[in-house]
Amino acid sequence: QVQLVESGGGLVQTGDSLRLSCTASGRIFSINTMGWYRQAPGQQRELVATIQNGWLPRYADSVKGRFTISTNNAKNAVYLQMNSLKPEDTAVYYCNYEHLGNDYWGQGTQVTVSS
């Protein structure tokens, strides 16, 4: 089992920055994919960014150039630096850990960007 705890959400204005953090505990393997997904009201959960084995990042087109995903393997942590935030980035952001097809999710953290 893997437990994920997120932090760092909040209410910001357009153009501001936020940094989300997620710490994993439990049975953690070095070969994994960690990432961030988001879900806005009335919409499906969508991929924001993932990073495979700590070094291969992938981003949704909508956040490329604005968001940066990174990890701290010693802390089993994944971060999402979000710059130039837009109102359309408003959503609940979920941390994800995946290993050999097994997915684990955090409880989510709300990000609200006001115009």
DSSP symbols for the chain? -EEEEEE--EEEETT--EEEEEEEEES--SS-EEEEEEE-TTS--EEEEEEETTTEEEE-TTTTTTEEEEEEGGGTEEEEEE-S--GGG-EEEEEEEEETTEEEE---EEEEEE-
Tens-digit pLDDT profile for residues 24-42 = 999 888 778 999 999 999 9
Tens-digit pLDDT profile for residues 54-99 = 888 999 999 999 999 999 988 899 999 999 999 999 999 999 999 9
Torsion of CA 20, 26, 29, 32, to 10 degrees: -40
* 23 pLDDT more than 90: yes
- Residue 82: its pLDDT value, please? 98
Mean pLDDT throughout 46-59? 93
